[in-house]
Amino acid sequence: MEFSGRLASACLVPGQHGIINLNDEWVVEPKFGFIYPFTEGIASASEGGRWGFIDKRGEWAIKPSFEEVGEFENGLSQAKHRGRWGLIKKDGKWAIEPEFDIVFCFSEDLACAGVRGYYGFIDRRGSWKIDPVFDIDDAYQGFRDGLARVGKSGKWGFINTNGAWVVRPVFDNVYWIFQDGMTPARKGARCGFIDKEGMWVIAPDFDDIMPFSEGLAKAKKNHKWGFIDNTGNWAIEPDYSDVGAFTDGIAPAQKGRKWGFIDADGRWILAPQYGAVDGFADGLARATRNGKEGYIDTHGRWFVPPVYDLVPPHFDNGVAMVMVKGKWGFIDLHAKWLVEPRYELVTLIPES
């Protein structure tokens, strides 16, 4: 059994998870109830209904003594004990005692915590820095550049690290981060961009809108998508069923039911011919044809033929986990099987 090279968590039988190498050998026998993806060198794993963390050798870095756990971020992880959540360190000791209905990891020295259905922010001693009087949702991302997106009575805005409103909660939705001093916002059925004072810098003239990428933001009007510039003018007219973000000057675009790729002038680089596509990375993009998935190059040629039920958006350092007939395995960039598809579930372990 070889520990060097790429490793992956794998499961042949539900409830029996271990770790394999890309020679399809067990390096850690499938003795865990579940293994989640590795972060910061360790992964949450369960045994006997309790949760802890293992290293890449399958040894307990933190013994399974918790009801639930999260994943490590900047040296801390969520953990649940006796129905309450706190934060633990990599030695398994409490950094923040389990006193909360829920708690998130720190961002800019504040951690969001919830009690009785409301949310506030605690400091690294576990004391309230901002009282729990706010709403959050699945889009919560913590503080960024001194601001956090929070809600109040069904409306959304931004507070600073003292808990004061910077953007009053008058919007039906706001994006969680500012780019170049502005962020998408919705009021009623209309969308535009606001600045850090909550003022419209791009008027709410759109049905839907997304953040900027490479100087252009996808926007929807009259049921069609296009791209606007940072003045709110159409750079690419709304003539598409859907579009994706620009990457290296190319964006996915849908016409009717087929997808292709356009350039920043709205010209077709690859005509719409695919069932679905993702953006390019390292010269390859996931694409589908006749319900099967593979990868195309920037000329539209099939680099990896569409013969798989599922593939990830991109290769991970030359390796991709793929599904065939409900089973998972791994291929290389030449579509050669590294691990035959026989597993119920697999997840590559990061190399770093």
pLDDT of residue 1 exceeding 80, the answer is no
State what percent of residues in the chain have pLDDT above 90: 96
122 strand-pairing partners: 111, 128
Q: How far apart are CA 272 and CA 137, in angstroms?
A: 36
111-121: per-residue pLDDT in tens? 999 999 999 99
Read off the pLDDT of residues 55-105 as tens digits, 9 standing for 90 and up: 999 999 999 999 999 999 999 999 999 999 999 999 999 999 999 999 999
Q: What is the pLDDT of residue 140?
A: 85
In this predicted structure, the answer to whether residue 132 has a pLDDT above a threshold of 80 is yes
pLDDT of residue 107 exceeding 90, the answer is yes
**Maximum distance among all alpha carbons in the chain?**
61
Cβ atoms of 213 and 227 within 8 Å: the answer is no
Burial of 146-157, coded b for 16+ CB within 10 Å and e otherwise, reads ebbbbbbeeebb
Burial class (CB in 10 A: 0-12, 13-18, 19+), 129: middle
Taking only the tens place, the pLDDT of each residue in 230-254 is 999 999 999 999 999 999 999 999 9
Quick: pLDDT tens for 290-322: 999 999 999 999 999 999 999 999 999 999 999
Name the nearest CA neighbour of 271 among 281, 282, 258. 258
Confidence check: pLDDT of 24 > 50: yes
CA atoms of 91 and 313, how far apart (whole Å): 35
Q: What is the pLDDT of residues 55-68, one digit of tens each?
A: 999 999 999 999 99
- pLDDT tens, position by position, 249-291: 999 999 999 999 999 999 999 999 999 999 999 999 999 999 9
Q: How far apart are CA 68 and CA 45, in angstroms?
A: 10
Whether pLDDT at 2 is above 50: no
DSSP string, 254-301: EETTEEEEEETTS-EEEEEEESEE---BTTEEEEEETTEEEEEETTS-
Residue type, 113: A
* In the chain, % of residues over pLDDT 70: 99
Local confidence band at 4 (pLDDT 50, 70, 90 cut-offs): low
What's the rounded Cα separation, in Å, for the pair 75 and 140? 20
**Structure tokens given for 312:** 């990830």
Of 151, 155, 160, which Cα lies nearest the Cα of 178? 160
Over range 189-218, report the average pLDDT. 97
> How does residue 141 score in pLDDT terms, banded at 50, 70 and 90?
confident
Query: Is the distance from CB of 180 to CB of 212 less than 8 angstroms?
Result: yes
Strand 84-88 vs strand 94-100: parallel, antiparallel, or unpaired? antiparallel
pLDDT at 32 > cutoff 60: yes
Mean pLDDT of the residues in the chain: 96
The tokens of 61 are what? 């870095």
**The two structure tokens encoding residue 99:** 């006193």
Q: Which residues contact 43 (CB under 8 A, 6 or more apart)?
A: 9, 35, 36, 37, 53, 54, 71, 349
* pTM of this structure: 0.91
Q: Is the pLDDT of residue 3 over 70?
A: no
| Predicted confidence (pLDDT) per residue in 170-181, tens digit | 999 999 999 999
